[in-house]
Structures are given as structure tokens and as C-alpha cells.
Amino acid sequence: MSTTGQANFAAYHQHGFIRVAASTPRVRPADVSFNRDSLLEEMQRADAARVDLLVCPELCLSSYAIDDLHMQDALLTAVEEALVTLVEASADLTPVTLIGAPLRREGRLYNCAIAISRGQILGVVPKSYLPNYREFYEKRWFAHGRDTDGEINVAGQTVPFGDDLIFEATDLPGLIFHTEICEDLWTPSPPSSEAALAGALILTNLSASNIVIGKSSDRHLLCRSQSMRAFAAYVYSAAGPGESTTDLAWDGQGMIHELGDLMAESTRFPLEPELTIADIDSGRIQSERMRTGSFHDASRHREPAFRRVRFEHQPHFEPAGLIRPVRRFPYVPNRESHLDQDCYEAFNIQVEGLRRRFEATPGETMVIGISGGLDSTHALIVAAKACDRMGLPRERILGYTMPGFATSEGTKSNAWKLMRAMGITADEIDIRPAARQMLEDMDHPFSGGEPVYDITFENVQAGLRTDYLFRLANQRKGFVIGTGDLSELALGWCTYGVGDQMSHYAVNAGVPKTLIQYLIRWSIQSDQFDPETNAVLDAILGTEISPELVPAGEDEKIQSTESMIGPYELNDFFLFHTMRYGLAPSKVAFLAYQAWHDAEQGLWPAGFPRTKRNAYDLQTIRAWLEKFLHRFFATSQFKRSALPNGPKVSAGGALSPRGDWRAPSDSVATPWLDELRKNVPEAWPKG
């Protein structure tokens, strides 16, 4: 039976998303009736697209580049009459619409943004800073709006007027926005900065910025940095073709940024009107503000005063998809243009961490267990690069493969091939005799010939491997390099104490499994090593992830990690959104479905093999998320609380108790499991 939360699960409004759009409408210089009709078309298109907030360009109702025509009474009266038509038409339309127009008030003319919703004008915001240099001379016509307040009579309504307005929907949490106009953003202290400190989550800009070579990049820089610095979304709409080209040209650039991330961007120099749409995550913005104390410290001495204009938005709370890039692999570099740089940084953060620690340690060797699996392979790559950087021979790395009761010939062979290809000092220690002795001393059923493969059986092997490594480090003047990764720490998938949870330096502790896979794949594609090494790395990537602690059954299937704890690609997705942003499980499930339900939709990381592209339905996502929440919150923290040193690699966070994640070891998972079960249905709602 569906609960109220489950009934609305497929609706983006339910999860704190606000649909915004930047419009590039048709305009004609001073042709107010044409511009009015063009804007109405855009409002109707936005309504059909379920947009909540529509941002149109600066002075789009009159058009911007009309110079002294702004001072003509006939034109200004036509603008006011056109506004009446647009306001009346908005009564049956969903979007709150921001329209740019020149308005008269108390003997002055202002360049204004007018907020229209459901047949009402919510308020009017005048432009604060008027450019009057090079090609601009707005002070010839307009009065600046700085420190203005009070009211204005427009389109038969008396409404708030001033640069101190923040608009807030009373029935849709998160729809809290501020507007500024063009030049306001280019100043050292944009008005939107103060508005963000006063609580605005979505910042908007009505612009008529003309285009010159390189200016598009400048706009991106300003919008991105403002959204990042102000912990907000920033919606920017610039005037496009149709404006006068007497002396200037226009490219109609629309873009939407959120916390520094580009959510959507328009076609430039469009021949047809365009809506640039994205769903903004108001919850993510609020979470970042809550976590970043310096954001609120910035307003401590200023206490910016803004008037809140509250209104009923009447949101639909219906399924309408999600228009937003959702990364399947949030820890994996996704900027193809910066791929080499991002992977280089990821590798070298680890390399530098290990190099510095090795220099600070009175040892001569690095000791590492090589299993032929992903984690030890990546740790060995890092160790080899660290030796290269220090000018030390790779023979200083002592690699040991330690076969146990379930070690396959394939992984053992890969371990040896890798150690030889990397040119390290390689050796093998068979742990089975010692394991048999320990199991016999413990009177374990296995020692009597019974096929009992319990956790004791597994951990005897895992513990012996680590015990050997530590004693070898004592003997050979070295220290143990940990191979366990961030994903395993999140799930508690490691043997505590004398096991793979412990080392002298946990070089992989900040790197999740999906990133390790990608970095190894990238090292092959970018020829970081020789062809022999690349061939071994490729073989390791193709091997199923397994702890190889339990012998294969009668069906000859090896022990599969992911069949027990879930696909790492899903677990890493859950971890990122749970740890980094503290999202509720229902929102994590909603986002996971959007990212993973169709392998043919959305972007995959550059070079990601087609044969590895998986898809998951909501039932599968929900089941593995429930297991993740139990492991992460209820059973694994004690292992993380005793975590060895190791470098943070990703902005997505690390689990060191000295860094991103500090939690009690005796907590419960009940609040998270209850929220999941209450609000996430077993299957995606039909329709």
C-alpha cells in the first residue's frame, strides 16, 4: 500500500527540485506588440514544459538597443499596456515569469525586472548599476535602483518596488529567488551576493549583454563563480537575435549554474526562440549552506535587510521527468576536455601523500600484498610512481602474493605478471599451512574436514595476510601500504585490526572502487606504462571482483563480492549523495533511478566500455540501498574510527574520522531505513 510519500515519489517537486528556464525570445526594436506576443509564446511554452521560474532578457518588452527611444512616452505607455496583457495571460500559466521592461516612477525611468505570477505582479526590481562606458550609456536614460524601496503603480496594480526584494513561494519549499540585471553581476559586489546571504536560493539575471570575442567565456566565469561563491543557483538570460545591430551584435546566451556546476546552456546565435531548462536542487543548495559555516559568517556583521514577497505558486507535484544532468559515477572525472588533468591529479594526490609519508618514515622499503585484484593493483601503481618521483629503484617495493584456500590461478598469475612488469621485488608466501594450523588450534570444523566457510574461516586468511605483511615490514625495514578503498570502508567490507583495514599508510582510503577502475583504465589508454603492464592491467579489469576467501562451489562459481554487498557502481552513488550532501534515502533512490534506469540515456564517462554499461530498476535500487544504509550507519563505523592515515582525493569526501566524516561507532540506521521504507515504493509508478 502506498503512503503519501510514495504516492508523490516520481514527482521532482517532492524531492526539492525547482524547474527553471532561461528564455531567448524573438524581439524587434521598439515593436512592443510583437515583443509582447513573443513573450506570451515563451510563457506558454514554459508552462507546457512545467517550468516554475522563467527568466527573460533585459528590456525584452521594449527591446534593449533602442537608445533614445526609451524616453518616448508613446513607447513607455505601450510597454505598460502590454504588461496588462501579459499579467492577465499569466493567470492560467504555471511559471513565475521575470520580464525586462522600462518603467516610469516618480519622474524617473528605471530599467526593471518585473515578476509576474498567476495574474499578479509580485514586485518590480530596478537595475542597480548602470554601465556608462565604451558602448554603454544607460545613465543617459535610466536612474539607478540602488537603495530604492516602496511601491510602484503598474498595470493597474500597486506592488513592491526596490532592490531589496526576495520572492518566496509559500507552497513550494525552495522556490526563493532574487533578480538582478546585467551589469549588476559584473560589479565587485553584485546585489545577488547580499540576497543569497539573506536567504535567496535561486539568483537570476536579465541581461542584454552584447557579444564580442571571448565574452561568452567571461559570462560563464561570472555566473559559475557567483553560483559557487553565493552557494546558489544562477539563471542567466541574454538578449538574442532581433535586437538592433546598428553598432552591436547579440548571441542570446542562456545558462543555468548550480553551486559552480553548469546545468544547462542554450544554443548561441539561435534563429528560433529557445528555452534553456534545468531542474535546480534547492535541497542541495541548503545543505551546502548548512555545512559551510563561513557562508553564514559572511553576513554576521552586515545583516542585509530584504523584504520577502510571498506568493502562492500552486505547484503541480506530478511526475514530469527530471531535466538535470545526474552523474552515474559521481566520483569519476566527467569533463572530457579535462580528463587527463583530472586523472593526473587523482593519481598524484595519492603519489604525493605516499612520497611524503615514506620520506618521513625511517624505513627503506614499501611492503604491499598483491592479490591480482583492483585495489592492490592501484596501490602498486601509486607506489611505483612514488619511487619514480623520489628517484628510487622500484626494487624498494616488496610485493607479496599470498595464495589462500580460494585463490584462483588467474588472479595469482596476474599478480606475478604485474609484479614482474612493474619491476619490483616479488615473492610468494602460501598462507594455507599457517591458516590450517590456526583453524586446528581453534578447533574449527574445517580442520576436521567439514566444508564450513564462515566468517572465522575468511578472517583467518585475511588476518594472516596482514600479519605477514607487518612482520615482513619489521624484518625488512619497511612499512605496509594499505590497499583497501573508500567503497570498502563505507560498507565495512574489510577485516578489522590485523586485517586489510589496517596498514601503516592507507593510500587508497580516499578512492572509491569506481574511481580505481576508471584510473586503471585511463592509465592503459594514456600509456602510463609499457605494453606488457597494460596487458596485465586490462586482464585485471576484466576479472570479477572477489575476496577469494571461500572455495568455489559445485557450480564452480567463485565468491562474488557484488552479489553479497551490491554493485559498487550503485554503492558509490549511494555513498556520494549520503556522505557529501546528507540526502534523505528517498531522494537518493529518486536520483539513482534517474541516473541508472536506462543505459541508453545520459552521458557515460569518456572511454567507458559499452559492455560494462548497466541499468537498474527501482526495485533493485531500493533493495541495495536498504542494505547500504544498514551497513554504512549501523555496522561499519568502528572500522572507520580506527582508520590509518591516507590522503583525501575527491571533493566527494573521505571517511577519515579526522576529516569529512565523524560519527559514533554505536549508532543505528533506523531513521534512514524508516525514511526509505515510508517514502520509496517497490517499483517506479506507472504513467
Q: Which residues are annotated as a binding site for deamido-NAD(+)?
A: 459, 488, 493-496, 639
Give dist(CA 611, CA 608) in Å, integer. Answer: 9
Query: Which three three-digit cell numbers place residue 675?
Result: 525514511
Which residues line the annotated binding site?
A: 133, 209, 215, 369-376, 459, 483, 488, 493-496, 639
Contact 275, 28 (CB under 8 A): no
For residue 454, which of 444, 464, 441, 467 has the smallest C-alpha distance? 444
Give all strands of the β-sheet with 202-207 in edge-to-edge order: 261-265, 254-258, 233-238, 202-207, 176-181, 165-169, 307-311
Q: How far is CA 226 from the centre of its chain?
A: 17
> CA–CA distance from 524 to each of 224, 520, 603 (Å)?
33, 7, 22
Give dist(CA 329, CA 631) in Å, integer. Answer: 21
Contact 606, 336 (CB under 8 A): yes
Catalytic residue check, 343? no
Catalytic residue among 56, 182, 343, 387: 182
For residue 68, which of 133, 130, 142 has the smallest C-alpha distance? 142
Catalytic residue check, 58? yes
Give dist(CA 59, CA 390) in Å, integer. Answer: 61
Give dist(CA 278, CA 324) in Å, integer. Answer: 5
Catalytic residue among 42, 58, 243, 258: 58
Give dist(CA 672, CA 658) in Å, integer. Answer: 24
Give dist(CA 446, CA 449) in Å, integer. Answer: 5
* Three-state secondary structure string covering 22-69: EEECCCCCCCHHHHHHHHHHHHHHHHHCCCCEEECCCCCCCCCCCHHH
Catalytic residue among 127, 412, 513, 587: 127
Give dist(CA 536, CA 540) in Å, integer. Answer: 6
Give dist(CA 309, CA 165) in Å, integer. Answer: 7
Query: Which three three-digit cell numbers place residue 431?
Result: 598462507
Query: Which three three-digit cell numbers place residue 407?
Result: 585463490
Which residues line the annotated binding site for ATP?
A: 369-376, 483
- For 6, the 3-state DSSP assignment is helix
State residue 358 phi and psi, 5-degree precision: -65, -40
Q: Strand runs (DSSP E) across 80-150, as ranges?
A: 96-105, 108-117, 120-126
Give dist(CA 235, CA 466) in Å, integer. Answer: 53
Which residues line the annotated binding site for L-glutamine?
A: 133, 209, 215
Give dist(CA 67, CA 30) in Å, integer. Answer: 10
Give dist(CA 621, CA 454) in Å, integer. Answer: 28
Give all strands of the β-sheet with 397-401 in edge-to-edge order: 425-428, 397-401, 365-369, 478-482, 505-506
Identify the bridge partners of residue 177 per DSSP, sorted by sequence position. 167, 202
For residue 264, which of 249, 252, 250, 275 has the smallest C-alpha distance? 275
- For 204, the 3-state DSSP assignment is strand
Query: Which three three-digit cell numbers place residue 100?
Result: 525586462
Catalytic residue check, 265? no
Q: Which residues are catalytic?
A: 58, 127, 182
